[in-house]
């Protein structure tokens, strides 16, 4: 099994280029199956989740050609509405096949999705949406099955602005009869990227990026070319790495309007952030002020950057509080950070972070963003760290060790 060996203490300097967003690429790959003709996707990150989703749709009969960061998908040879059971369990986003196949075929079947172990992760809101559109839903022994003679648009209020449920309902409604209105919808940029792709395919969608999305179903969609938006979470992780190591890094290929909540927090802590057209420069070598952070749906502070900013908060002068409101079990990195000397106390959904000096240790990754936090901590830990189970990290960061090495970190991947 692979691991990272990191010798902490180097300041990061230089330029790092951010890849396309994983969480936009996944639903957009699924959406290509709605079309009658091939699509060509650009800036697709090369990640295990992406490869697994491509393999799922390949096994469903689609012709999928991956070449570097481009993926060409021809859905004309699709021959089943069912996903491979074992592969589908490997990633959360396999559930987007449900919305797509229901719209295209009136039938869909998949195993309950996997993904990071960060909470209960129910899909009740997805199923509520499919039912409202007229689908019969059955859930037996971990297999979800959907059937509908015809999907008919409806008004759907989401109890919580779930990203996955909003996306899945949008996918299904894009080819339903009549109008669907999703109220209290998610506003995440990745959802907007999907809506933009669906729109160029011929879908009629209004309001993506607001909490009310209106979809007028159409009879058919055409494959198109599309470039995926930059990954705001990868960008945020490198911005925090620059701040943490008291470095000076230009993070290229970032849409700064997508990370306003992080920029605001870094400013509040006393860091220097320069926003430019093609990216953002982060530098800082003074003392850092403590701040409180509360994770929220977009445009609030992203839960996917919670573990990373926690590491930065160990380096401030005072005490900070992080409140995690999105996931119920997203403090699993805390025990590992404590092994590195972090002074953190958990109280329910809140973490109290006090100033501490970190030192190298042997630590184990429990989920994707927890892994990113451990890599960051190792960059400033005194001495050497060994980070195990890095396959979790590789689900969301393409070549993280090469990028950090390029900025001056002492990091290597060992088999």
From the CB of 30, what's the least distance to ligand EPZ, in Å?
A: 11
**Selected range binding ligand EPZ among 121-129, 175-183, 257-265, 312-320, rule: CB under 6 A:** 121-129
CB 246 within 8 A of CB 11: yes
| Alpha helix ranges (H) inside 60-149 | 85-89, 96-105, 124-132
Q: What count of other Cβ atoms lies within 10 Å of the Cβ of residue 178? A: 13
Residue 122, interface with ligand EPZ (CB under 6 A)?
yes
**Selected range binding ligand EPZ among 104-112, 155-163, 177-185, 263-271, rule: CB under 6 A:** 155-163
Please tell me which residue in 21, 26, 47, 116 is annotated as part of the active site. 116
Backbone φ, ψ for residue 228 (5° rounding): -75, 145
Instruction: Tell me how far apart the alpha carbons of residues 72 and 348 are, in angstroms, rounded to a whole number.
Output: 45
Burial class of 229 by CB neighbour count within 10 A (0 to 12, 13 to 18, 19+): buried
Strand partners, 276: 279
From the CB of 227, what's the least distance to ligand EPZ, in Å?
A: 18
**Residue (340 or 368) nearer to ligand EPZ, CB:** 368
Residue 390, interface with ligand EPZ (CB under 6 A)?
no
**Residue (310 or 368) nearer to ligand EPZ, CB:** 368
Residue 373, interface with ligand EPZ (CB under 6 A)?
no
Residue 160, interface with ligand EPZ (CB under 6 A)?
yes
Helical packing angle, 368-380 and 232-244, nearest 10°: 20
Residue 324, interface with ligand EPZ (CB under 6 A)?
no
**Among 58, 121, 294, 338, which residue interacts with ligand EPZ (rule: CB under 6 A)?**
121
**Selected range binding ligand EPZ among 11-19, 58-66, 112-120, 375-383, rule: CB under 6 A:** 112-120
**Residue (119 or 286) nearer to ligand EPZ, CB:** 119
**Among 18, 208, 368, 404, which residue interacts with ligand EPZ (rule: CB under 6 A)?**
368
Instruction: Tell me how far apart the alpha carbons of residues 307 and 260 are, in angstroms, rounded to a whole number.
Output: 18
Residue 191, interface with ligand EPZ (CB under 6 A)?
no
**Residue (237 or 359) nearer to ligand EPZ, CB:** 237
Residue 304, interface with ligand EPZ (CB under 6 A)?
yes
**Among 6, 26, 132, 213, which residue interacts with ligand EPZ (rule: CB under 6 A)?**
26
> Which pair of tokens denotes residue 363?
């630590």
Instruction: Tell me how far apart the alpha carbons of residues 279 and 276 are, in angstroms, rounded to a whole number.
Output: 5
Is 54 designated active site?
Answer: no
Residues in the chain: 415
**Among 67, 77, 79, 120, which residue interacts with ligand EPZ (rule: CB under 6 A)?**
120
Residue 162, interface with ligand EPZ (CB under 6 A)?
yes
Residue 165, interface with ligand EPZ (CB under 6 A)?
yes
Q: What count of other Cβ atoms lies within 10 Å of the Cβ of residue 115? A: 18
**Among 197, 238, 301, 327, which residue interacts with ligand EPZ (rule: CB under 6 A)?**
327
For 216, 240, 321, 358, the CA distances from 244, given in Å and listed in that order, are 47, 6, 18, 12
Residue 295, interface with ligand EPZ (CB under 6 A)?
no
**Among 36, 65, 117, 119, which residue interacts with ligand EPZ (rule: CB under 6 A)?**
119
The 3-state secondary structure of 15-58, one letter per residue: EEECCECHHHHHHHHHHHHHCCCCEEEECCCCCHHHHHHHHHHH
Q: What count of other Cβ atoms lies within 10 Å of the Cβ of residue 48? A: 16
> Which pair of tokens denotes residue 414?
């060992």
Cis peptide bond upstream of 10, omega within 30: no
Instruction: Tell me how far apart the alpha carbons of residues 327 and 353 are, in angstroms, rounded to a whole number.
Output: 19
Q: Which residue bears the tokens 């050609």?
A: 65
Residue number, nearest CB to ligand EPZ: 164
CB 93 within 8 A of CB 48: no
**Among 29, 71, 88, 123, which residue interacts with ligand EPZ (rule: CB under 6 A)?**
123
From the CB of 330, what's the least distance to ligand EPZ, in Å?
A: 8
From the CB of 52, what's the least distance to ligand EPZ, in Å?
A: 12
From the CB of 5, what's the least distance to ligand EPZ, in Å?
A: 24
77-96 binders of ligand EPZ (CB under 6 A) = 92-93
Task: Write out the catalytic residue numbers.
Answer: 116
Binding site for ligand EPZ (CB under 6 A): 23, 26, 92-93, 116, 119-126, 160, 162-165, 303-304, 326-327, 368-369, 396
């Amino acid at each position: 099994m692979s691991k990272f060996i990191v010798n902490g203490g180097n300041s990061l300097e230089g330029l790092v280029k951010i890849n396309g967003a994983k969480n936009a690429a996944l639903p957009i790959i699924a959406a290509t199956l709605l079309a009658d003709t091939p699509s060509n996707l650009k800036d697709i990150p090369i990640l295990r989740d992406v490869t697994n989703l491509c393999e799922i749709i390949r096994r469903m009969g689609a012709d999928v050609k991956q070449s570097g960061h481009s993926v060409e998908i021809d859905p004309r040879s699709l021959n089943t509405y069912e996903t491979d059971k074992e592969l589908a369990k490997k990633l959360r986003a396999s559930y987007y096949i449900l919305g797509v196949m229901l719209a295209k075929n009136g039938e869909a079947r998949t195993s309950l999705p996997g993904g990071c172990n960060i909470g209960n992760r129910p899909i009740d809101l997805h199923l509520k949406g499919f039912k409202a559109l007229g689908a019969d839903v059955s859930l037996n022994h971990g297999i979800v099955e959907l059937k509908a003679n015809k999907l008919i648009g409806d008004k759907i209020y989401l109890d919580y602005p779930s990203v996955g449920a909003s996306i899945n309902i949008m996918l299904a409604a894009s080819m339903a009869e009549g109008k669907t209105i999703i109220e209290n919808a998610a506003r995440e940029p990745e959802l907007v990227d999907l809506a933009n792709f669906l729109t160029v395919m011929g879908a009629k969608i209004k309001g993506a990026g607001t909490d009310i999305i209106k979809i007028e179903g159409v009879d058919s969609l055409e494959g198109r070319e599309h470039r995926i938006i930059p990954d705001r979470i990868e960008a945020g992780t490198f911005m925090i790495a620059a701040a943490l190591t008291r470095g000076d890094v230009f993070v290229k290929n970032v849409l700064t309007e997508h990370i306003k909540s992080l920029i605001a927090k870094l400013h509040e802590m006393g860091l220097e952030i320069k926003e430019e057209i093609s990216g953002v420069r982060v530098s800082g070598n003074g003392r850092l002020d403590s701040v409180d952070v509360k994770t929220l749906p977009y445009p609030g502070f992203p839960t996917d950057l919670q573990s990373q900013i926690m590491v930065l908060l160990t380096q401030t002068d005072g005490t900070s509080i992080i409140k995690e409101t999105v996931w119920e079990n997203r403090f699993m990195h805390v025990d590992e950070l404590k092994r590195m000397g972090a002074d953190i106390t958990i109280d329910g959904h809140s973490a109290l972070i006090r100033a501490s000096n970190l030192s190298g240790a042997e630590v184990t990754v429990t989920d994707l963003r927890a892994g990113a936090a451990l890599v960051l901590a190792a960059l400033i830990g005194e001495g050497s760290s060994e980070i195990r189970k890095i396959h979790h990290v590789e689900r969301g960061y393409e070549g993280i060790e090469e990028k950090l090495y390029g900025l001056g970190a002492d990091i290597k991947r060992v088999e």
